Amino acid sequence: MAATASPAAGGMDGKPRTSPKSVKFLFGGLAGMGATVFVQPLDLVKNRMQLSGEGAKTREYKTSFHALTSILRAEGLRGIYTGLSAGLLRQATYTTTRLGIYTVLFERLTGADGTPPGFLLKAVIGMTAGATGAFVGTPAEVALIRMTADGRLPADQRRGYKNVFNALIRIVREEGVPTLWRGCIPTMARAVVVNAAQLASYSQSKQFLLDSGYFSDNILCHFCASMISGLVTTAASMPVDIAKTRIQNMRMIDGKPEYKNGLDVLVKVVRYEGFFSLWKGFTPYYARLGPHTVLTFIFLEQMNKAYKRLFLSG
């Protein structure tokens, strides 16, 4: 991510020329959408496992592999891509906003001599970008959670959304506009944790690898930094993520919601399912988040480099 702030050819005023803000936002969204195409099946498995055992019921899936094979057996190859349209819209809104804001703030806070912001400032930038992006992307997130969870329900209880736009329209019609932002607070809280960990740890890991002298600014360096970033992010954000997932998928029971808030989810999970259930689905979460982080940053770095080569050089 820090590479986006590196100087290109100088402009008329002697300052480094960088891509327009609109291009930064566009590249951020495209990078996230490209990564989602590859990792959507893992996202589906992660969501199903986080909902497995809800309400002290017997867990539906023993392992990530069991979940994947069960979904394939019951819903077919096409079933593992359920919710792809919602995943793409989520990236188009959430990732476009968060990476665009992060890139702009990173550049503004980079010293005149090219010195990048310190670790704590990177974390603050990441949290600000993440919370803003999460608010914008919550409607698509609600649709994504519901669409990926649908296949685990009996046929008569499924919502049956055809695509993300059908989901959004039906949610508004059947449950009201505010439902599009259900779970907004835990979604933003998760984004704060994810972005503080992901964006800051990526920049810091990349900087560390470059300073070691064993890496140059290439895809291998981006890959290693992304994998480190993904591991840190997974461990830090899973408890908040499970709260977000369950709130956004919950139904009303006798006119009352299943959960009061994110804290209520966490308390009930610990009480009925055990403390380590807060990290339920760790493997598919990292298997999804790790590659998604890797692919997002690789796509982003390559698009930035191509833009600089084609439009900012000379």
pLDDT band at 83 (very low <50, low <70, confident <90, very high): very high
Contact 5, 310 (CB under 8 A): no
DSSP string covering 176-237, please?
-GGGGGTTHHHHHHHHHHHHHHHHHHHHHHHHHHHHTTS--SSHHHHHHHHHHHHHHHHHHH
Residue 17 DSSP symbol: P
Q: Is the pLDDT of residue 223 over 50?
A: yes
Least confident stretch, 16-25, 116-125, 244-253: 16-25
3-state SS class at 286: helix
* Per-residue model confidence (pLDDT) at position 281: 79
Least confident stretch, 63-77, 94-108, 159-173: 94-108
* Per-residue model confidence (pLDDT) at position 135: 95
226: left (phi over 0), alpha (psi -120 to 50) or beta: alpha
The Cα 84–Cα 218 span in angstroms is: 30
* Per-residue model confidence (pLDDT) at position 58: 66
Contact 52, 103 (CB under 8 A): no
Reading the block at residue 91, the tokens are 């990236």
Reading the block at residue 159, the tokens are 């919502």
